Structure 1
């Protein structure tokens, strides 16, 4: 891989660098994108039943949120270091760490959304003979969707940034290019990887915003009214 611009200058951005290293950039961006999407999806699959259980059993809410909060406070470098002896160096270690950090945001937002459902809506469902499980699945979760989508958006943007730390175990997506740029003091490599991270975060956020609008058409109607 050739990072030279062909001159003595070391600019913060260089189209020549992008042209010569397009294959590396695409590979790193693909790794970053798939790892982010997979981590958030796995975290959501875990967080949904946990938050639902805490909603149905309020005594679980405090310990559950507290436990995810403690996990979130573990420094990423330390977490990857603790996982590496058991899960090895690479994708699995980074994925477990990212899922761990996303859980706090998702569990809190899902729980807040479920707890914020209008009590009149619950009363109407009870009047129609809805049991607790049916009410959760068909009434409370749909009404909590705006809060859930907001949590997924926040967790996704945060995860895009955290993926770069995976460079310490050899799987950091665009973070690999940033680290290589810092080591060689090549500014264009650092800046290009940083810009791609920002664009990726914006693209994910916009996509999830549109998905949220599609899933909650009633919220748009309510705001208009």
Structure 2
């Protein structure tokens, strides 16, 4: 399957979905199908060509921080986590657990055609990797706390927040050999993610690495 100048309707979404979900082991339940399901009824358009734009500085920080006892969680903008996912999977054999619970809609507040193009094109380029190394990634732009949705009349409010059900519990992580959660995110940690951290910080060590403003 080629990722150049395709229309959305030409894409085998089930195949892309399976590629992202393959070999996630015990973390399969945290991979979300919402985005792929919503794209089945999305208006057709020509996908943008993929540009490989991983943030090398963040990649280096993740690799430097990575060890078998730390569970890595990345909360950065959607386009960025897709680039990071492809780079970590193909070049470092670290499986991305793509935790995107976004309902794509042509008039949605969240989710652009560029996001969709990148989700599909990175999936096409994703190599099959069998590894016991994992990193979970969630989109920082899942909601905008500064946005007053009451003043927006021409958009569907498809913003969402993560809950503790979106993440493995400390019991699960400890059973799998993890002793700490390391979070890579922006200076301003999202409130929903902070709720998860606060909920479990007495049960497992948490380190926050702020990588962007």
TM range (shorter): under 0.3
TM-score by length of 1: 0.24
Higher relative helix content = 1
TM-score by length of 2: 0.25
Pick the structure with greater CA Rg: 1
Higher relative strand content = 2
